[in-house]
Amino acid sequence: MPIRELTKAEEEIMRVLWQLKKGFVKDVLAELPGSDADNAPLAKPAYNTVSTIIRILEKKGLVGYTAYGKTHEYYPLITEEEYRRFQTEQLMTNYFDNSLKKLVSFFVSEKNISLSEADEIINLLNKKKDQ
C-alpha cells in the first residue's frame, strides 16, 4: 500500500508510535504533549479521538496491531525514515520541480544557512557523487 500524506493529528500519533515502538491507546495518549510551543496548557485529545486516529492509520496501512482480547497494542508498519523520504519527495515534486538545486537555493536564501552548513552540504553531495 503506497504511503499517503498524513494530517497533522495523524502525524503526531505516528511520531509517538515511532518513539514508543508499540503501545496501547492509553500509552500514546500519555505521550501526547499537554502544552504548546509557548508552554501554554492545552487539553489533551480524548481517548476516543486518539483511538479513532489510530484506526484511520491502520486503514491507511501505516499501523498494525496485536489483539489481546478487546484491547489492541499498536505498532508502526513504516519507519519514520520511510515517511521522511516520502515527505521529501512530495516537497521536491510539489514545490521545487524535482530540482535539488532549487531546494538548496531556497534554504540558502530563506534560512540563512551558515558557510559551515553549506560546506557540509557540498561535502555530502560530493560523497554521494563519488559512490
Identify any residues that bridge with 71 across adjacent strands, giving them in sequence order.
68
Determine the Cα–Cα distance for residues 22 and 77; give it in Å rounded to an integer. 10
Three-point CA angle 71, 17, 81, nearest 5°: 145
Contacts of residue 53, Cβ cutoff 8 Å, sequence gap at least 6: 9, 10, 13
Q: What's the half-sphere exposure (Cβ side, CA atoms, 13 Å) at 10? A: 16
Q: What are the pLDDT tens digits along the chain (131 aa)?
A: 678 889 999 999 999 999 999 999 999 999 987 745 555 566 788 899 999 999 999 999 999 999 999 999 999 999 999 999 899 888 888 888 888 778 778 877 877 777 788 788 778 877 776 76
Predicted TM-score (pTM) of this structure:
0.75
Contact 58, 64 (CB under 8 A): yes
DSSP three-state, residue 105: helix
Contacts of residue 102, Cβ cutoff 8 Å, sequence gap at least 6: 96
DSSP three-state, residue 76: strand
